[in-house]
Amino acid sequence: MNKGRYRTKKESGEPRLDPAMRVLKALHSAGTPDELTADELEKQRRSQEVLGNLVAPMSGMVWEPTEIDGLAAAWMRLERPHKRKRAILYCHGGGYTSGNLGYSKVLASKLTQRTGFDVLAFEYRLAPEFPYPAALEDAEKVWNHLMYLGYGAKDIVIAGDSAGGNLALALCHRLKSADRMLPGAMLLMSPWTDMTISGPSYEQRQDIDPMLTLDYIKAVIRAYAGDNDLVSASLSPLFGDFNGFPPTLIQVGSHEILYSDSERLRDRMLEAGVSCRLEVWEDMWHVFQMFPIKKASNAMDSMAHFLLEEL
């Protein structure tokens, strides 16, 4: 792990994907269509549900489906007795157009396994059927539910990957603007923080990103944000006011088109006096933590250690 340098071909000086990662990008691109037709979205959502249910590491844990004011949700808990003072509110990724409880199982189980905390996942409404601000309203509804259950704001960790990282940050901005207490910490995996696509990595790293394409990102922005102001902190939380934000751990892979979103978020948070740590994982891709690889395991361990230090 280092500070975000990717390997390049000596003969050209330009970054290139190795053959295995080119195959991975081709497979992933088939599941993240640049044109979000109803049929393609339905296929993507079904495949995510199946994938999550197949690969989530569930040993020693229990998955408890529930409902929160009409929203499908589920708790991931350890089977053995454990303290339940703290909880993690997990916001899944998927470009605001896909993702579900099955998909959420993978990272929810890993978060529970490493931290021992109960993890609450939920199905927020998806675009294009339910564009902005539907997902943000649903996230606040689930936050309010945790308050109703008796959790203190400081006893909750908000975690999110990709668009879920965007949602986690947007929720914090929303809570702050309402003069409400913020969570005790945040865990952000490859967070999408800038819908204006203004960071240099969108151009510089698009040829080495094995997971995302610029066309896909533009398509989901159209589907979710519509004609709303993309500079708004509710859509591009990078441009919000971070004074008073909780301690935050950001993890990003060096081979990410969204790399700048993490780096610039770290800079903005540090400027605001927030305790923020950016971890750049060499040769890794978008939300690599979901994969059954050693670096993913190490990254989850790092999250647990971060929470031990900050909470």
Positions marked active-site: 162, 256
Contact residues for 304 (Cβ-Cβ < 8 A; gap 6+): 114, 115
What CA–CA distances, in Å, run from 129 to 29, 68, 104, 125, 236?
22, 20, 20, 8, 21
Nearest-angstrom CA–CA distance, 160 and 119: 12
Integer Rg of the chain from CA: 18
Q: Residue 157 pairs with which residues in a beta bridge?
A: 88, 185
Contact residues for 263 (Cβ-Cβ < 8 A; gap 6+): 4, 199, 201, 252, 278
Residues written for the chain: 311
Label residue 163 exposed, middle or buried (CB < 10 Å: 0-12, 13-18, 19+): buried
- Picking from 147, 100, 150, the residue whose alpha carbon sits closest to that of residue 122 is 100
Residue 23 neighbours by CB distance under 10 Å = 12
Amino acid at 208: I
